[in-house]
Each structure stands twice: as structure tokens, then as C-alpha cells.
Amino acid sequence: MPITVKFFASLRERLGRSEDRVPAAPGMTVQDVWTRASGGLPLPANILIAVNQDYATLAAPVHDGDEVAFFPPITGGSAPRCHGSQEMRIKGRCGQ
């Protein structure tokens, strides 16, 4: 059973697809999956990885039937608003 590879956001745009399948091989890692699915492109900095919906590293092993997802960090929203003391605002402890 192949490994399902999912690409999100800018990676999906860069690779021109949202999903791929890679044949599993003994001893395969997430790095191997990326290399095969991306055609050898370097992995952009700060990309997050999940194997079967759990965060993983490039060295994590993968097996038949696994799902590997590559996605950029999620950002957005507005800056925190501090209503506490100046000391709390400086230390970044808004609302804590």
C-alpha cells in the first residue's frame, strides 16, 4: 500500500498538486518521502510535518499506508492586546 503525501498552502501551489502517492520501501523516512514526492526539490525552511496526523521530523520512519503531510506554519490573526501592567506587556505575558 503506498504512502499518501499531502501538500498544503504554498507547498501545494509550488508543487502544483495537493496530494501524491509514493511507494513504501523498507527503512523509509519522511525525508525520503519528500525527496520522491517533490522530485528532489529542497524542503523550504520552517515547514511542519505530520505523519498520521502527529507532528514528526524528517528522520521519522514511515510505513505502508501512512499519510505524510507537509505544511507551512499557520499564521494570522491580530497582535495581542495588553491591558495589564507595562511589566507584563514587556515580558509578553498578556492575559497570563
Which of the four pLDDT bands, split at 50, 70 and 90, describes residue 80? low
Compute the chain's Rg from CA coordinates: 18
Q: CA–CA distance from 55 to each of 47, 59, 80 (Å)?
A: 11, 12, 26
Residue with cell 529542497: 42
In degrees rounded to 5, what are phi and psi of residue 92? Answer: 70, 30
More confident residue, 68 or 95: 68
Domains of the chain: 3-71 (3.10.20.30)
Task: Write down the pTM of the prediction.
Answer: 0.76
Task: Tell me the three cell numbers of residue 28.
Answer: 523509509
State the Cα–Cα distance between residues 37 and 92, nearest whole angstrom.
40
Which of the four pLDDT bands, split at 50, 70 and 90, describes residue 92? very low
What average pLDDT score do residues 27-49 get? 96
Give per-residue pLDDT as tens, 51-78.
999 999 999 999 999 999 999 987 555 5
